[in-house]
Amino acid sequence: MYNKRYAGFILALLGLSSYAGALPTQYRVATEFKNLNIATVESETDFENFTGRTNQVSGNLIFDQDSKTGSGTLIVSGKDITTGVDLRDEEMRSKLWFNFDAVPEIKFQVTAVRSLGKDIYSVKGNLSMSGQTKPITARVTLRYNSANATTKSLGLKGDVIALTTKFNIKLSDFGITHPAISVGRVNNTVNITLKAIATNNP
């Protein structure tokens, strides 16, 4: 259900994409539409694969449509990530793993944005998780749409930006070590995907 709705929304935005010169504008992740926002983390090994996911994504972004630059912060609620196995979710929230019980947020603070052409950007920033902060660079697709009949019909107010990114991190970079990693049940390198919709309506 989520994939079909999100795909339909993105296709609608692509069909109605428009440009309008403007000053840097602040956007807020539309947290009231949780099904439009999703973060996933994937681990794949020879012995065990799993995907954790949450719709609890929030944050504020600044985007300059003229200069194709921006800044801001995105936050994922780590304590709300679920994998479909309650016992695994509970253990991963503990200090033995991600320590989300004590430090519940995964935070990405943007430090630099560079346009790669069209709707593709190279985004540098600091990723904070489990009490550790590391610099990362992610390739981001960001599409801007001024308010129109389609966005209004979906309940979104104001202009809209839709962003999608996928990148890898090493758990050991964030101080996360566990016997399950050393025996190959969990990959030290995990794939993170983030999709979010933000509007300039406060």
Q: What is the pTM of this model?
A: 0.84
Quick one: CA dihedral 166, 5, 51, 130, positive or negative?
positive
Please give the structure tokens belonging to residue 153: 């019909």
Strand positions, DSSP E, the chain: 25-29, 38-44, 49-54, 57-64, 69-77, 105-117, 120-129, 132-145, 160-170, 189-199
175 touches 130 (CB < 8 A): yes
Domain with residues 2-199, CATH architecture: Beta Barrel (2.40)
Find out whether 26 and 60 touch, Cβ atoms under 8 Å.
yes
Q: Would you give per-residue pLDDT tens digits along the chain (202 residues)? A: 545 555 555 545 544 444 444 578 999 999 998 789 999 999 999 999 999 999 999 999 999 988 999 999 999 999 999 999 999 999 999 998 999 999 999 999 999 999 999 899 999 999 999 999 999 999 999 999 999 998 888 889 999 999 999 999 999 999 999 999 999 999 999 999 999 999 998 7
Q: How far apart are CA 165 and CA 124, in angstroms?
A: 12
The domain limits of the chain are 2-199
